[in-house]
Amino acid sequence: MKLNKRLLSLIATICFCIICLVYFKDKPDIYANMHFSKVIYDKNDNLLRFTLSSDGYYRVFTKIEDIPDTMKQALMLYEDRAFYNHFGFNPFSMIRAGIEMIFGSRKMGASTITMQLARLVYKLDTTSILGKLNQVLKAILIEIHYSKDEILEGYFNLAPYGHNIEGLGSASLIYFHKKPNKLTLPESLALAVIPQNPVKRTPTNDKGLKNMEEARLRLADIWIEEDKPFKDRAKLRISFKTIKDIPFKAPHFVNEIILENKLNDNIKTSLDLRLQEKIEDIVSGYIKRNSSYDVKNAAILLIDYQKMEVVSYIGSNNFFDDGIEGQVNGITALRSPGSLMKSFVYGMAIDEGLIHPMSLVKDIPKQFGVYTPENFDRKFMGALSATDALILSRNVPAVDLLLKLKKSSFYNILKEINVPKLKSEDYYGLALALGGFEISLKSTVELYAMLANLGEYREIGSENKKRFLSKEAAYLTLNMLYKSGDINEVSNFIKKKKQKIAWKTGTSYGFKDAWTVGIFGKYVLGVWIGNFDGKPNPAFVGRSMATPLFFEILRYMEKFEDFEDDEIWDNSLNLKEVDACLDTFDIASALCKRKVKSYVIPMKSPIKVSDIYRQIPININTGLRSCYHKKGETVLKTYEIWPSDIALTFEKTGIHKVKPPKFEKDCLIDEVQYMGKAPEIIFPTRNLIYTINPYKQEEIPFKANVDNDANKLFWFVNQDFVGTSLKNEALMWKAKVGKYIVTVTDDMGRKSDVVLNVEFSE
């Protein structure tokens, strides 16, 4: 009989051990099926947005090391003083609670922090004895598999804090707008007492606040009695925020961040909220002051180009204004950039050795096939430097340079940066140089950041790099844009502050978009003004509408940062300083009276000495032009000999240039010592294929620019004479399919040629 009892006891013990082993062997997941909110902060941990989790709670995960010691001590002092000395439950507390429940006048809690975590994880009903026993077993299970710090961390992340707020991190952000590690002692004491009775102690209504405050002060008394740190502050008054006060800052920016970070819940961004809110105020005030011009909307993007991080991001004037479609993001919306793209055309032209900053370019009426670009002011300036042509935003030089670039070079950059909805290159043609396509403010700012990073392109937030320009070409382009303040009307601000600001404006066709993008200090700032519905407005001019807002933002920023003497330079830059002629451009000759320093790229830049100034031998007695200089009979006088197309522009604008006198009658062409320049054929255009209708007789114009001393031109096709024309006039040639060499000779005997390709149109 005794043997049977011992056997039964052994079997029972083994069964109990097996049951315990089965019950306790698997590690429970205390965060199973738990969904967390997304919390987005600025660079200084200011809260920008706190979203609901997918199951409708404010719930943010907080690591134990991010919870202050005062918070941990307050919780254990209030809920579980023996937390580090028990294995999930405290038998002495349970016995005391049972006695009090039977004989006492009030109900006492005996749940440890681990037991409370078990109730939260398994959603237990602990009002019955069986429920309480189950809670103890689950607490032991948790203690077996988790460390004390992990248990404490679990409690702080799952504890209820009233309404649909779960977890200390959520409560801290919602009630105090700060992370838990920033909590003061009184705030920690308040958050320690709420989970014990979250319904009655929710501090967002008068009754709940009163109940919470009574419990907090009781805990404060215990804290003082225990001689805990900062006891003199324990009873300081505190104020609470509500769910309605949860920040909703930088909405367009945060929306983009959430889309880009679907797997991350706690996101710290590079945005500077202080600066963001100030720029929002500046934009709002600017729009209000210009409301009489029907200006309603703007978008602003400010980035640190060294880190390629967003500093300020304003997608519209008012996110909540449906009247302006405020929820549309003007930073990612596709708009026509106007002249903003010229900077990159010039940069590529420098890189391909077509120009340097002081190269002579022509702003004259010119036809490119069927395309005849005009300037914004509908005027032409004639001869000017590449720098002036860029910052004065002249259209013909930009189009001419795009035509001379290697095929698709600029278009390929647009493809490389993944401009959405980009059509074929042929669809845009030469209008690419003038912004005849759509691009976002974000992509435009990234392209200007490429200039600031000396030709190296990176998207915002990306480490991937692509080189679009050489360091030298990017630097020279920036140097050209730095001179914008020397010409435009905002120069007084720049000169007064001695600041290096490289900036460019853009106005889209039809006055739908006004832009200014600039580089200063470590920043690139992009400003767009327009309407999301594409409604045109004659006030939408980059220079007069976007630029003042650009400089208003800059003026505010320079109160806190010194941009003076900030210059982008790299000691590895292969540049050479030369003397350029200020009046006739190109490299200065000995005859140039006014010179200016400029940079060129050795072995790449077109080193062309200016030949506009020429010394002409004049007969002392007759005043006529001699064939050559003869001491005692002639004197050398300096004249400006401009190409005929530029000379014509000078005449139309009322600029008088003195011409050399006629040659002496006995002077033969072969004897002329100072021959000047050969004609420059402008039609047929180089590198263009002309197409003709096979069913019509079509004509192609032949036209050339010549020195001012030439008057008549003689045209040849494959060495066959086809006709004559006067300077500044065209000869019309009856086109035939084929490949031809077109030659022109002026009446001074100078000649040049061009290859002409003619094909049938499809």
User: Which residue type, as a one-letter code, is found at position 512?
Assistant: K
- For the ranges 92-96, 173-177, 312-316, 723-727, the lowest mean pLDDT is seen at 92-96
Output the pLDDT for position 96. Answer: 64
Average pLDDT on 582-605 reads: 88
Whether 23 shows a pLDDT value over 60: the answer reads no
Cα–Cα dist 434/415, whole Å? 17
Greatest mean pLDDT among 140-149, 340-349, 550-559, 673-682 lies in 340-349
Average pLDDT on 383-388 reads: 93
Average pLDDT on 336-346 reads: 97
Architecture of domain 314-557: 3-Layer(aba) Sandwich (3.40)
Q: Sign (positive/negative) of CA torsion 552, 558, 559, 560?
A: positive
Greatest Cα pair distance in the chain? 156
0.75 surpassed by pTM: yes
More confident residue, 705 or 498: 705
Q: How confident is the model at residue 727 (pLDDT cuts 50, 70, 90)?
A: confident
Output the pLDDT for position 495. Answer: 55
Whether 732 shows a pLDDT value over 50: the answer reads yes
Whether 478 shows a pLDDT value over 70: the answer reads yes
Output the pLDDT for position 7. Answer: 64
Q: How confident is the model at residue 4 (pLDDT cuts 50, 70, 90)?
A: low
Q: 3-state secondary structure string, 600-656?
A: ECCCCCCCCECCCEEEEEEECCCCCECCCCCECCEEEEEEECCEHHHHHHHHHCCCC
- For the ranges 28-37, 310-319, 371-380, the lowest mean pLDDT is seen at 371-380
Greatest mean pLDDT among 430-439, 479-488, 753-762 lies in 430-439
Q: What is the dihedral of CA 674, 679, 680, 683, to 10 degrees?
A: 170
Average pLDDT on 495-500 reads: 64
Structural contact between residues 743 and 715, judged by C-beta atoms closer than 8 angstroms: yes
Q: How confident is the model at residue 667 (pLDDT cuts 50, 70, 90)?
A: confident
Average pLDDT on 646-666 reads: 81
More confident residue, 186 or 663: 186
Cα–Cα dist 375/349, whole Å? 20
Whether 201 shows a pLDDT value over 90: the answer reads yes
% the chain with pLDDT above 70: 90
Class of domain 26-245: mainly alpha
pLDDT digits (tens, 9 = 90+) for 504-545: 999 998 999 999 999 999 999 999 999 998 899 999 999 999
Architecture of domain 680-760: Sandwich (2.60)
Average pLDDT on 49-73 reads: 95
% the chain with pLDDT above 90: 55
Output the pLDDT for position 90. Answer: 72
Domain limits, the chain: 26-245, 314-557, 613-671, 680-760
Question: Where do the DSSP E strands lie in 178-297?
Answer: 266-268
- Find residue 631's DSSP bridge partners: 634
Average pLDDT on 247-265 reads: 92
Average pLDDT on 151-161 reads: 96
Average pLDDT on 732-757 reads: 85
